[in-house]
C-alpha cells in the first residue's frame, strides 16, 4: 500500500507547489499597477502572498505531523471553535466589513476570514461521523444535515453567499459519497431551490448580479462592469496571449484583478494555451487527490479526502465559470492562485490534511 501511495503523493504535493508558484507570478503581474496606485508600491500583494503561502505550507506540515487527526473529538472541537470564529466577526474592534460583508476579523494588522476554515472543519467532522455510521442501517440524516446548514446559515447572514454555497455543496457531496439515498437529495434539493430563490429575491444586490449575468450590457458601468471587463481581457488573448506582465485590463479596468478574477488576467497574458496548462494542473491535483482518497488506509481518511477534494474542485470550477461568464458573480477565489491570506492558508491546510489522512 505504501508503495502505491508514494507516486500520487509526490505528484499531488508537487502540483500544489507548482500552482502556488504560478499564483505568486500572476499576483505580482495582476496586482502591480493596482498596488502602485492605491498603496504607492507595486509589490505589496506579491510579498504578502509569499508570506501567506509560507505560513500555509508550514501549517500544512504541522497538520501532517498531528497524531490525532482521525479522532472525532478533535474534529468536534475544531467545528465548535470555527463556529465561534464566525460569531467573532461581530465583536467591535475585531470584526471588520469588506465589500458590504461583515465576514472578517482583524488582529495586529492581519485579516482572517473564518468561513474559509469552517468549511474544513465541517468536512472533517462529517467524515469522522460518517466513517462510524457507514454500516448503520438506521443511519440518521438530521445530524449530518445540521452540521452543514448551521454554519452555512451563519455565513449567509454576514452575508457571504459564495462561501455558504461552497460549504453546502462540499457537505452534500460528502453525503452523496457516503451513500445517502437519492430521495434525500431530491427532497433537500427542492427545499434548497426554493430557499435560493427567496435569498435572491430578498437581496437587491443578488438580483442585480443575476440580471448582470443574463445581460451585462444592460448596466455596463455598474453591476455588469466586472463581467464585461473580464471578457474583454479573455476575448482578444488568442492562443498565446499578450505576454507575461502585458495585461491591459489590470490598469484599473478590471477591479482588484489580483483577487477573484485573476484567471482572466492569466488568460489575457498567456492565452488559450496558458489556460489549458493551468486547468490541466488543477485536473492533476484533483485526480491525484481522489487517488489518495481511494488508497487511504482508514474510512475517515477516505471520506475526509473525498469531501475536501470535491469542495475544492467545485470551487475551481465555479471561479473559472464566473470569470468566463458561465455563472453570476459569486465572490469565490481561485484556490492557490487568487490573492488572499485566508484562501491560500486554508487551501494549504487542506493539502496538509489530505497528505496526513493518506498516510495512516
Classified as helix, coil or strand, 225 is helix
Give the β-pairing of 110-112 and 101-107. antiparallel
CB 144 within 8 A of CB 126: yes
Pairwise CA distance, residues 359 & 355, whole Å: 6
Radius of gyration of the chain (CA): 20
pLDDT at 52: 94
Predicted confidence (pLDDT) at residue 105 exceeds the cutoff of 50: yes
pLDDT at 93: 80
Pairwise CA distance, residues 63 & 77, whole Å: 15
**pTM listed for this prediction:** 0.91
Strand partners, 98: 101
- Residue 122's CB is within 10 A of a number of other CB atoms, namely 28
pLDDT at 285: 97
CB 207 within 8 A of CB 223: no
Classified as helix, coil or strand, 106 is strand
Share of the chain above pLDDT 70, in %: 91
Q: What is the pLDDT of residues 299-316, one digit of tens each?
A: 999 999 999 999 999 999
Pairwise CA distance, residues 360 & 356, whole Å: 7
C-alpha cell at 56: 500555509
- Give every strand in the sheet of 110-112, ordered side by side: 95-98, 101-107, 110-112
Strand partners, 110: 107
Predicted confidence (pLDDT) at residue 359 exceeds the cutoff of 90: no
pLDDT band at 135 (very low <50, low <70, confident <90, very high): low
Range name among 8-17, 307-316, 322-331 with the lowest pLDDT average: 322-331
pLDDT at 167: 92
Q: What is the pLDDT of residues 256-315, one digit of tens each?
A: 889 999 999 999 999 999 999 999 999 999 999 999 999 998 899 999 999 999 999 999
pLDDT at 203: 63
Pairwise CA distance, residues 295 & 6, whole Å: 10
CB 272 within 8 A of CB 280: no
Maximum mean pLDDT: which of 32-46, 138-152, 324-338: 324-338
pLDDT band at 1 (very low <50, low <70, confident <90, very high): very low
Pairwise CA distance, residues 116 & 129, whole Å: 21
CB 196 within 8 A of CB 169: no
Given phi > 0 = left and psi -120 to 50 = alpha, else beta, which region is 254? beta
pLDDT at 79: 94
Amino acid at each position: 500500500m505504501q508503495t502505491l501511495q508514494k507516486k500520487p503523493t509526490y505528484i499531488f504535493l508537487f502540483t500544489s507547489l507548482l500552482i502556488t508558484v504560478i499564483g505568486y507570478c500572476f499576483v505580482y503581474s495582476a496586482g502591480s499597477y493596482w498596488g502602485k496606485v492605491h498603496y504607492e508600491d507595486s509589490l505589496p500583494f506579491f510579498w504578502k502572498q509569499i508570506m501567506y503561502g509560507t505560513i500555509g505550507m508550514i501549517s500544512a506540515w504541522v497538520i501532517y505531523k498531528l497524531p490525532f487527526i482521525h479522532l472525532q473529538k478533535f474534529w468536534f472541537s475544531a467545528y465548535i471553535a470555527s463556529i465561534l470564529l464566525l460569531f467573532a466577526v461581530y465583536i467591535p474592534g475585531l470584526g471588520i466589513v469588506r465589500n458590504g460583508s461583515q465576514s472578517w476579523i482583524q488582529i495586529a494588522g492581519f485579516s482572517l476570514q473564518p468561513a474559509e476554515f469552517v468549511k474544513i472543519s465541517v468536512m472533517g467532522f462529517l467524515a469522522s461521523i460518517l466513517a462510524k455510521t457507514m454500516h448503520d442501517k438506521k443511519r440518521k440524516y438530521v445530524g449530518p444535515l445540521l452540521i452543514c446548514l448551521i454554519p452555512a446559515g451563519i455565513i449567509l447572514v454576514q452575508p457571504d453567499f459564495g462561501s455558504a454555497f461552497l460549504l453546502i455543496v462540499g457537505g452534500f457531496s460528502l453525503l452523496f459519497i457516503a451513500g445517502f439515498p437519492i430521495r434525500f437529495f431530491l427532497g433537500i434539493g427542492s427545499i434548497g431551490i426554493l430557499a435560493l430563490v427567496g435569498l435572491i429575491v430578498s437581496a437587491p444586490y443578488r438580483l442585480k448580479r443575476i440580471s448582470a449575468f443574463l445581460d451585462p450590457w444592460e448596466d455596463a458601468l455598474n453591476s455588469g462592469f466586472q463581467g464585461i471587463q473580464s471578457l474583454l481581457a479573455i476575448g482578444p488573448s488568442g492562443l498565446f496571449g499578450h505576454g507575461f506582465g502585458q495585461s491591459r485590463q489590470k490598469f484599473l479596468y478590471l477591479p482588484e484583478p489580483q483577487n477573484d478574477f485573476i484567471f482572466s488576467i492569466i488568460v489575457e497574458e498567456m492565452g488559450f494555451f496558458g489556460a489549458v496548462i493551468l486547468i490541466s494542473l488543477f485536473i492533476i491535483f484533483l485526480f491525484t487527490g481522489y487517488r489518495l482518497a481511494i488508497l487511504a488506509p482508514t474510512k475517515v481518511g477516505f471520506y475526509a479526502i473525498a469531501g475536501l477534494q470535491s469542495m475544492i474542485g467545485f470551487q475551481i470550477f465555479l471561479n473559472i465559470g464566473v470569470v468566463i461568464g458561465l455563472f453570476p458573480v459569486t465572490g469565490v477565489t481561485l484556490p492557490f492562485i487568487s490573492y488572499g491570506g485566508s484562501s491560500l492558508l486554508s487551501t494549504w491546510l487542506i493539502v496538509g490534511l489530505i497528505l496526513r489522512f493518506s498516510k495512516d
